[in-house]
Amino acid sequence: MTDTERTITVTVNGVPREATVPVRRLLSDALRHDLGLTGTHVGCEHGVCGACTVIVDGDPVRSCLMLAVQVDGSEVRTVEGLAREDHQGGQVLHPVQEAFRECHALQCGFCTPGFLMTIAAGLEERDNSVELTEEDVDDMVGGNLCRCTGYANIKKAVHHAAAAMRDA
């Protein structure tokens, strides 16, 4: 059976969501336009810039290089799901978000969600009691383009976030 349109169910930021999409809809477009999660940005649509990076079933991937129908049944995390709610209904930022603000690791902010997701996944999956090397940082941020910051403060923010996660 081949389809031109499908209804998919996907857990986005912990919330089950349903959407009916043409099968050619890119995951990036489905998140932004079908599910209204515009925090994921589209910078090149050919998988090079990394602005659209989201976490699918635990791994950071380029959402412009997946079809929406491919995440049927999966769990997706986007920048909107990075902070958690506290008991008073307020928001507790993820250490990577805190670090980006503290270290001035963003300017226009367009590439930022992709960096945040890549770095969050990288720091969450590693043993933060082990000292982060420059090489680790380069690996974590090396596949995302930023045209504003020159990356210095983004690298600084990764160290800052890793320290916060180690101390937490």
Element (H, E) at 86: none
Nearer to another protein, 14 or 109 (CB): 109
Binding of another protein by 164 (CB under 8 A): no
Rounded-to-integer distance, Cα 127 and Cα 122, Å: 10
Catalogue the long-range contacts made by 55-60 (C-beta closer than 8 Å, 24 or more residues apart): 55/117, 55/120, 55/121, 56/27, 58/121, 58/125, 59/121, 60/117, 60/118, 60/121, 60/122
Binding of another protein by 143 (CB under 8 A): yes
Q: Which of 11, 151, 159, 163 binds another protein (CB under 8 A)?
A: 151
| 53-112: contacts with another protein (CB under 8 A) | 53, 59-62, 64-67, 69-70, 78-80, 82-83, 91, 93, 97, 100-102, 104, 106-112
Number of residues that bind another protein (CB under 8 A): 81
Binding of another protein by 29 (CB under 8 A): yes
CB 119 to another protein: min, Å: 11
Give residue 115's region: left, alpha or beta (phi > 0; psi -120 to 50). alpha
Element (H, E) at 59: strand 59-62
Q: Which of 11, 17, 47, 136 binds another protein (CB under 8 A)?
A: 47
Binding of another protein by 43 (CB under 8 A): yes
